[in-house]
Structure 1
Amino acid sequence: MPPKKKGKGKAKKGKKKKSGEGNELEEKYRRSTLDVTVLKEHLVLRRDVARQAQACSQELQTRLSTLEHKLGAEREDRRDINADLTRQYKTMQTEMGVKVHQLEIEVSKLQQQLTLCQEALQRERESGEQMVLEKDATITELQGKIDNMETDYEKILHDTLDSLLSRLAEKRLHWQDESTELQLEHKERLLDFGLNPLDI
């Protein structure tokens, strides 16, 4: 019979174990329910965080897209500006090259004209100096001729005056003789008429 007792004792122990296990199960269930609730709350929080993150991500994506669009537009504008500036620079460079070439041609022409003018001026100076020398020689020659003519004229004038004086002296003597003869004739005629020539 003792084995029966043993059996009974085991049965009692088994009931105790079952009630202890039930409590543990309930505790585990409560814990599990609590864990599930906590996990659900975590999930809700994470879902909210994920939604906020997704909203932020979409906003950032939109901003990034806008910024990329702006950046692309600015790059395009910069390319256009660079192309326009390059074109303007090349145009200005071409125009400047043309102007420089024209100015070089003009400078060359002006230098040629200056050279020709300097040569013409040199010829004119030499010609002027030659003319001055020729004029000086002519003036010297003419002055010598004038001096010779003056000497000749003086000589002719002196000879003429001497001749005139001698002729005047001869004529004077001649007229004095004639005058004396006329006076004598008139005296005689006055005396013939009975007049005294001294009274007249």
Structure 2
Amino acid sequence: MPPKKKKGKKKKKGRKDDGELTVDDKYKKTLEEVEALKDHLAVRKELAHRSQSAGLVWKHHMLEAQTQLEEREENQKAVSSEMTRQYKTMQTELSLRIHQLETELERTRLQLDDTQSELKKTKAEKEEMTKQKNLEIEDLQNRIKKMGDKFLKIFLDNMEQLKVQIDEQAKGRWAERATMIQSENKQTLLEFGLHPLDI
């Protein structure tokens, strides 16, 4: 039998004498790196998935916000348009009202001027009428006074005439009465036997 060769100590698999990795070690390392990369990729995928989900959520929020913003802008435009319309309508109505009030004011001023002129004319007419009436009253008072004076004169004249007539009538009556009394006295004297001439 040929003599057996001495086998040297087996070197560890995976390292060469110069410190380089063996193919198996490289393979294992590569597998580990691949696994690590897979894990890393899975984490990245999960993060990407989460990020994508979060992005979708934020995109949804952004779309909602954009929709709300557009709705607000539309509402603001509608409100602004309505306010502008109302303002223009109100401005038109106010302008029309101002014009109407100015027209009424001018008409009222003209009426006031006419009324003042009429009042002035009426006052002048009243003063003239009052003056005429006062003159008529004064004239009537003068006439009444003259008539009163005439009436008084007539009354006094009539009273004087009446007095004269009464005096004359009274004298006549007294004369008759005196004559009658003298006759009665004479008769009485004669009855007593006396003659009136003797007394």
Q: Do these two structures clear the TM 0.5 threshold for a shared fold by scoring above it?
A: yes
Instruction: Give deviations 1:75-95, integer Å, cap 9, x for gaps.
Output: 111111111121122222222
Q: Which runs of 4+ in 1 moved over 6 A?
A: 181-185
Q: Could you say which residue in structure 2 is the equivalent of 1:97?
A: 95
% of aligned pairs identical? 27
Letter in 2 for 1:61: K
Per the alignment, residue 25 of structure 1 pairs with 22
Structure 2 residue corresponding to 1:154, chosen from 145, 152, 155: 152
- 1:97-119 Cα shifts (integer Å, max 9, x gaps): 22222222222222222222222
1:133 and 2:131 correspond: yes
User: SS at the partner of 1:74?
Assistant: helix
Instruction: Give the whole-Å Cα distance in 2 for the aligned partners of 1:171 and 1:159.
Output: 18
Q: Structure 2: which amino acid aligns with 1:115? A: D
Residue 13 of structure 1 is matched in structure 2 by none
Worse-superposed segment, 152-161 or 138-147: 138-147
The CA RMSD measured in Å over matched residues stands at 3.0
> 1:59 is matched by which residue type in structure 2?
V
Q: Which amino acid aligns with 1:166?
A: V
Deviation at 1:49, TM superposition (A): 1.0
What is the deviation of 1:174?
3.2
Aligned residues: 175
Q: Within 2, Cα distance between the matches of 1:137 and 1:20?
A: 164
Distance 1:104 1:46, change over 3 A: same
Q: Which amino acid letter does the alignment assign opposite residue 24 of structure 1? A: L
Question: Gapped runs of 5+ residues in structure 2?
Answer: 1-14, 192-199
- Give 1:118's aligned amino acid: Q
Which shows bigger deviation, 59-68 or 128-137? Answer: 128-137
- Distance (whole Å) between structure 1 residues aligned to residue 18 and residue 55 of structure 2: 50
What one-letter code is carried by the residue in structure 1 that aligns with 2:148? E
More relative contact order in 1 or in 2 (CA 8 Å, sep 6+)? 2
Following superposition, the deviation at residue 162 of structure 1 comes to: 1.2
Q: Given the superposition, is the C-alpha separation of residues 29 and 176 from structure 1 closer, same or farther in structure 2, using an over 3 Å criterion? A: same
TM-score by length of 2: 0.73
> 2:29 is aligned with what amino acid?
R
Q: What is the TM-score normalised by the length of structure 1?
A: 0.72
1:73 counterpart (62, 71, 91) = 71
* 2:62 alignment partner, one of 64, 72, 76: 64
Instruction: Please show how residues 6-17 of structure 1 align to structure 2 within 5 Å.
Output: none
1:87 aligns with 2:77: no
Q: Which residue of 2 aligns with 1:171?
A: 169
Whole-angstrom distance in 2 between the partners of 1:151 and 1:65: 121
**Which ranges of structure 1 fall in alignment gaps of 5 or more residues?**
1-17, 196-200
Cα distance, 1:21 vs. partner? 6.3
Question: Which letter maps to 1:158?
Answer: L
1:36 aligned residue = 34
